[in-house]
Amino acid sequence: MLGIDLTGKRALVCGVADDGGFGFSIAKQFANAGASVCVGTWPPAMGIFETLLRRGKMDDSRKLANGSMLEFERIYPLDAAYDTLAAAPEDVRTNKRYAERGDFSIEGMVKRLTDDFGDKCVDIIVHSLANGSEVRNLLLDTSRAGYLQAVGVSAYSLISLTSKLGPHMRAGGSVLSLTYMASERVIPGYGGGMSSAKAALESDTRVLAFEAGRRWGIRVNTISAGPFASRAASAIGIIEAMVEYAKVNSPLPEELTADDVGNTAAFLASPLAAGITGTTIYVDKGYHAMGKSL
């Protein structure tokens, strides 16, 4: 029987702060396939996340196919807006929710990971990171600062993660990110530079696949997921309408589930996808193929 087997592999999923989004489902499906899982969590959300886990509030979501529970090897503080701790403004570094976490930068997370598990310590990296403070603004009304923030956090962070973690990945490693169709088509209401960030993310995926493939022998792909009403997506303000529109107009007229994306991520991270790199994989019930609404 041909199955997805990630036994003996370690995954780092960056951007998990609750059990309601793609990142959590990806982590769960990795665990179902036998991988050990670490996560990177935004410092202001980390306390609540750890408390919910400790009190068993996520136990139903954490149940794996074999009856055991999803356990995270480590939960690392991560604010992907900063490559180094020194790059964070003083008011961020001294903020209570940040200061108590130590080095929350990408560099800091990489150091903690290698301190905990050694040099060649990770097989799978997942970039489930996106943020645009002006996402509800039209692009015409987006400030330079808002635009650059969206691109920096949502796209450049993939470059930074790959650059800093690539040397510590084992042979056959896989890097995955999450994108959205706004990279190539106009989605009114998805503004603030986020469409630009997703376009950059997809372009960077192709270039990183070449460069990281030649330098370290790792693969880089991105999943273009359909709209999904996660807690994070609620910031857009019209996510429910986006989900319903995609459902009505897709070849498969049903709502996307987080497990649809998690299953695809597990496949792309596995040896079964050893020949796939530099690719955008659509997981959207076929909506991307449509040229006219119904």
pLDDT for res 2: 81
The pLDDT value given to residue 233: 65
β-pairing verdict for 122-127 and 280-283: unpaired
Q: Give the separation between CA 154 and CA 222, rounded to whole angstroms.
A: 13
Digits of tens for pLDDT over the chain (294 positions)? 788 999 999 999 999 999 999 999 999 999 999 999 999 999 999 999 999 999 999 999 999 999 999 999 999 999 999 999 999 999 999 999 999 999 999 999 999 999 999 999 999 999 999 999 999 999 999 999 999 999 999 999 999 999 999 999 999 999 999 999 999 999 998 999 999 999 999 999 999 999 999 999 999 999 999 998 776 766 676 788 889 999 999 999 999 999 999 999 999 999 999 999 999 999 999 999 999 888
Interhelix angle for 144-151 vs 194-216, to 10°?
Answer: 40
Fold (topology level) of 10-286: Rossmann fold (3.40.50)
Q: Which residues are catalytic?
A: 180, 190
pLDDT at 292: 86
Q: CB atoms < 10 A from the CB of 195, how many?
A: 22
Q: What is the pLDDT of residue 276?
A: 98
- pLDDT of res. 123: 98
Distance, in Å, from the CA atom of 188 to the CA atom of 138, rounded to the nearest integer, reads: 8
Q: What is the pTM of this model?
A: 0.95
